[in-house]
Structure 1
Amino acid sequence: MDGEESAPESAPEKVRHYHPGICVYCGKNPTESCQLKRCTQCQLVLYCSRQCQKKDWQTHKPLCQTHALQDGKNIFTSARERIHDRKGWHDFQNMLRMRASVKLGRSLEPFENEIFLFARVCEICGEAEPTKITDCSKCHSVFYCSEAHREKDAKRHAEWCYSYSLCMCCDLLEYRSGMNSIPFPIVVDAEYKPLPATIKEKLESMLGFLSTSHLFEKNMLITLMSERLTYPLSLLYVLQNISVGSCKQEISQVSELTVHIVGAESTKEMLGIIRWEYLVHTLPALKKLHAVFIGPEVGMMRCEDCQKKGRIIVYEMCKMLYHDYVSTSYYTKPDAIVAFNCGFHEFEGEKKDTWPKSLPKMAENRDTPVIFTSYNSTEARKDLEVLCQASEVEVLLPSQLNPYRSLRPYRDPAREENADIFFTNQYITCVRGMK
Structure 2
Amino acid sequence: MDNNYNMFFYATMCHVCKQFGEDVRLQRCAACRMIAYCSQQHQKQHWPQHKHLCKAIRDVLKDHKMKIRNVTSKEEWIKARMNFMLMVILKLTRRLDMYEEEMFKFPRVCLICHEENSQLLQDCHNCRAVSFCTKHKNSSIHKDMCYLLKLCLNLDILAMNVKRESLNFNCLQCVFDKKINDFRHMSDYIDTCINTWSCTLEKSDVLAADQSEHLTRPLTLLYGMQMLDYVPKYKSLVIHVIAASSVELATLEAWEVLLHLVPATVVSVKIIMIGPTVLEGIFALSDICSNCVLQEKKLLFECHSTLYVDYLNSPAFAKPDLVVGFNAGIHEHEIASFQETWAPSIGALAKQNYPLILSCYTQSEVELEIARINEILGTKTDCIYRGKNPFASLRPHRDWTENLFYHNNYIIIYRNLCP
**Which bin holds the TM-score, normalised by the shorter protein?**
0.7 to 0.9
Distance 1:384 1:105, change over 3 A: closer
Q: Contact 2:276/2:307 (CA < 8 Å) preserved in 1?
A: yes
- Give deviations 1:42-87, integer Å, cap 9, x for gaps: 432333445544544444455556656999x9x9787443x24323
Structure 1 distance, partners of 2:250, 2:59, is 41
Contact 1:406 1:424 in 2 (8 A): yes
Return 285-294 or 100-109, whichever deviates more: 100-109
Structure with more contact order per residue of length (Cα contacts < 8 Å, sep ≥ 6): 1
1:275 lines up with 2:254 in the alignment: yes
TM-score, normalization by structure 2 = 0.84
State the shift of 1:120 in Å.
1.0
Q: 1:307 aligns with which of 290, 293, 298?
A: 293
Matched, 1:130 2:118: yes
Instruction: Select 2:163's aligned residue among 178, 181, 185.
Output: 178
1:289 maps onto 2:269 in alignment: yes
- Cα distance in structure 1, aligned partners of 2:162 and 2:313: 42
- Residue number among 144, 154, 162 corresponding to 2:147 in the alignment: 162
Query: Residue 289 of structure 1: CA displacement?
Result: 0.8
CA contact (8 A) 1:17 1:171 kept: yes
The answer to whether structure 1 residue 196 and structure 2 residue 179 are counterparts is no
Shift of 1:428: 0.5
- Whichever residue aligns with residue 297 of structure 1, its letter is T
In structure 2, how many angstroms separate the alpha carbons of the residues matched to 1:98 and 1:372?
29
Name whichever of 381-390 and 84-93 sits farther off.
84-93
CA contact (8 A) 1:77 1:129 kept: no
- Distance in 1 of aligned mates of 2:99 and 2:277: 22
1:381 maps to which of 363, 367, 380: 367
Shift of 1:431: 1.0
Q: Does 1:44 align with 2:39?
A: no
The amino acid that maps onto 1:337 is V
Which stretch has the larger CA shift, 133-142 or 184-193? 184-193
Map 1:80-229 to 2 at 5 A. Answer: 80-81=69-70, 83-101=71-89, 103-104=91-92, 106-147=94-135, 149-151=136-138, 153-155=139-141, 157-180=142-165, 182-185=167-170, 186-193=172-179, 194-208=181-195, 217-229=203-215
Q: 1:29 aligns with which of 20, 29, 35?
A: 20
CA-atom RMSD in angstroms: 3.3
Residues 4-56 of structure 1 show CA distances to partners (whole Å, capped at 9, x for unaligned) of: xxxxxxxx98852111112222112314x445444455432333445544544
% same residue: 27
Instruction: Give, in angstroms, the shift of residue 217 of structure 1.
Output: 2.4
Partner residue in 1 for 2:403: 420
- Structure-2 separation of matches of 1:243 and 1:122: 50
- 3-state DSSP of counterpart to 1:411: strand
Question: SS of the residue aligned with 1:204?
Answer: helix
Deviates more, 1:36-45 or 1:295-304: 36-45
Q: What is the one-letter code of the residue matched to 2:154?
A: C
Determine whether 1:400 maps to 2:400.
no
**Residue 239 of structure 2: aligned partner:** 259
Aligned CA distance change for structure 1 residues 188 and 140 (closer, same or farther; 3 Å): closer
Most deviating of 192-201 and 336-345: 192-201
Question: 2:302: which partner in 1?
Answer: 316
Give the letter for the 1:427 counterpart: Y
The answer to whether the 8 A contact 2:268-2:297 is kept is yes
Structure 2 regions of 5+ residues with no counterpart?
none
The TM-score normalised by the length of structure 1 is 0.82
Does the aligned pair in 1 maintain the 2:15–2:36 contact within 8 Å?
yes
The gaps in structure 1 that reach 5 residues or longer are 1-11
Number of residues paired by the alignment? Answer: 403
Q: Which structure 2 residues correspond to residues 290-369 of structure 1 after superposition, within 5 A? A: 290-299=270-279, 300-302=284-286, 303=288, 305=290, 306-349=292-335, 350-366=337-353, 368-369=354-355
Contact 1:223 1:408 in 2 (8 A): yes
Q: Give the equivalent residue in structure 2 for 1:370.
A: 356
Q: Which deviates more from structure 2 when the two are superposed, residues 295-304 or residues 43-52?
A: 43-52
Aligned equivalents of 1:325 and 1:59: distance in 2?
37
Distance 1:310 1:388, change over 3 A: same
Distance across 1 between alignment mates of 2:347 and 2:59: 54
